[in-house]
Amino acid sequence: MVDAHSTPSKPQHGLSLLRDPLLNRGTAFTEQERAALGLRGLLPPCVLTMQTQADRVLTNLRTLPTDLEKYVALNALHDRNEALFFRVVCDNIDEIQPLIYTPTVGLACQKYGLIFQRPRGMFISSRDRGQIAEILQNWPYEAKLIVVTDGERILGLGDLGANGMGIPVGKLSLYSACAGVHPELCLPIVLDVGTNNEELLADPYYLGLRERRLTGEAYDSFVDEFMTAARKTFPGVLIQFEDFANHSAFKLLHKYRDEACVFNDDIQGTAAVALAGLFSALRVSGGKLRDQKILFLGAGEAATGIADLVVSAMMAEGASEAEALRRNWLVDSRGLVVKDRAGLSGHKLRYAHDDQAPVADFLTAIKTLKPTAIIGVAAVGGAFTPEVLKAMAALNAQPIVFALSNPTSKAECSAEDAYRYTEGRALFACGSPYDPVTLNGKTFVPRQGNNSYIFPGVGLGVIASGSRLVTDEMFMAAAHSLADCVGKNDLSQGSLYPALPRIREVSARIAAAVAQVAYQRGLAEGPAPNDVMSQVQSQMYEPHY
């Protein structure tokens, strides 16, 4: 296991040591360390263990009245003592993940200007054009993993401009906590190209550029400069695109995926986590994926990403491409996506079926198409109404209902409604956390179809193997590995995903599967080791002193 390592150029003594979050151990510095490192007198005399420090953090955290305050407190800890922060996150992932990532991070981004204390990551604005490579040199570490956003579509909350920085920061924390990617290798970046959000433009605390978004050729060349500079400054770096709006997300992914080590988690990570959930659901209901009919509410990055991977998985089960496509249908804000509709954007065309008349609303689409599964990824809160859920229950013995939109206010339905209106028959996954639901004496434990089951392991596998590219085959392998981690006990209580506290074991399995693909396809840096799992595990950061 890799410990938090120190960089020779870093200050190693006295107060500056206590102020370096990568090296600070606070009250856990031993008597000997205090003497050797010039810390005597700078700390209270009592020496605490890391466990006591972690307990103290949790005790304090639990007294705080709101999730946003807990988010701020955890960020402050992250800025003070990185190892302790990750110890607390790793040991209490169920409790802490919703505080450092979705759903709380959505509110944190909305209030980013107000709660801002210390910068984390890098802010590159359109004013930096022509100098991005020079600016990236200011990052003091060797980045192997960049998560970058332009803040245009933060979760289901829309354009939050530079406030979107909370997302790369949160996501990279999960890379380290869930898969042990060393925090020092992680670089969160916001590309500040302005915002079209009027509220932010008028907000005195907004920290981004107060100008409208860069568009067209100027935007493309800015992102291109960033991509070139990032790859030159950090050779081999994995770049994850995050929360870009539709029109940029698909374009960037297609532009760079065959030449650079990139992926888009909103499209590909979501796809793998949803596919794994479908595999689990089918273990309960029986039946093959290739025989399902899936109706998506939403036709954006998540929906088409999932549909594309589902089509590949159906084809792997023997369906032709045409058959697989016919089994996936999309509903967007203008109704069912069908060939007859004019002006459909490019990413929807694959699912624009002919010989089907337009259908205006989701409930009618259900009654018309009779799907076995509905997947909500439209960020329209409450869209799975009681009528929608009852219609699915009337059509299917065990309807598959995934309400994946984030944050909680955007969820298509609550877990309670999903079970209640299907008489407890729904095979349910959610995008936001829900407590267990007891119905007619049976307790269901809904689990989040959260990308955090997938991207940390994928990132670790890519970094461990030194893969040059990130391929769809890797996401398919990740989905299978995740589904394989779901046990019979999970399924019997309605859980389609493994318990979150197993996430590091799950991520290691996903990473090994992803690395294996890299080796098999000749994408890896060197020859395959005898034991890929051991190679992956040897690279996992363990937060301890």
Ligand X SMILES: NC(=O)c1ccc[n+]([C@@H]2O[C@H](COP(=O)([O-])OP(=O)(O)OC[C@H]3O[C@@H](n4cnc5c(N)ncnc54)[C@H](O)[C@@H]3O)[C@@H](O)[C@H]2O)c1
Among 39, 74, 238, 404, binds ligand X (CB under 6 A): 404
Q: Which residue has the tokens 């909500």?
A: 376
Q: Is 369 in the site for ligand X (CB under 6 A)?
A: no
**Residue type for position 407:** P
> Which of 172, 114, 203, 155 shows the shortest CA–CA distance to 432?
155
Stretch touching ligand X by CB under 6 A, among 229-237, 326-334, 461-469, 514-522: 326-334
**Residue type for position 518:** A
For ligand X, give the closer residue by CB, 149 or 535.
Answer: 149
Stretch touching ligand X by CB under 6 A, among 35-43, 132-140, 151-159, 282-290: 151-159
Among 170, 300, 399, 543, binds ligand X (CB under 6 A): 300
Instruction: Tokens for 351, please give them.
Output: 């699912």
| Residue 190: count of CB within 10 angstroms of its CB | 28
CB of 413 to ligand X, least distance (A): 13
Any bridge partners for residue 429, and if so which?
402, 447
H-run or E-run covering 329: strand 328-332
Stretch touching ligand X by CB under 6 A, among 4-12, 92-100, 378-386, 437-445: 378-386
Q: Is 156 in the site for ligand X (CB under 6 A)?
A: yes
What is the DSSP pairing of strand 186-192 with strand 437-439? unpaired
For ligand X, give the closer residue by CB, 140 or 343.
Answer: 343
Stretch touching ligand X by CB under 6 A, among 26-34, 296-304, 385-393, 489-497: 296-304
Q: Is 408 in the site for ligand X (CB under 6 A)?
A: no
Q: Is 308 in the site for ligand X (CB under 6 A)?
A: no
For ligand X, give the closer residue by CB, 21 or 156.
Answer: 156
Among 163, 233, 246, 264, binds ligand X (CB under 6 A): 246
Applying CB under 6 A, what is the total number of residues that bind ligand X?
Answer: 29
Q: Which residue has the tokens 């980045």?
A: 143
SS3 192: strand
Instruction: Tokens for 273, please give them.
Output: 């986590």
Stretch touching ligand X by CB under 6 A, among 7-15, 111-119, 294-302, 416-424: 294-302
H-run or E-run covering 345: none
For ligand X, give the closer residue by CB, 82 or 412.
Answer: 412
- CA dist., res. 198 & res. 210, Å (int): 10
Q: Is 380 in the site for ligand X (CB under 6 A)?
A: yes
- Catalytic positions are 101, 171
CB of 357 to ligand X, least distance (A): 18
Total residue count of the chain as it appears in this document: 545
Q: Is 427 in the site for ligand X (CB under 6 A)?
A: no
Any bridge partners for residue 427, and if so which?
400
- As a three-state string, the secondary structure of 35-50 is HHCCCCCCCCCCCCCH
Site residues (CB under 6 A) for ligand X, limited to 167-226: none
Q: Is 331 in the site for ligand X (CB under 6 A)?
A: yes
| Residue 500 near residue 94, CB atoms below 8 Å | yes
- CA dist., res. 452 & res. 458, Å (int): 10
Residues within the interface to ligand X (CB under 6 A) = 153, 155-156, 246, 266, 270, 273, 297-303, 331-333, 377-380, 404-406, 410, 431, 449-451
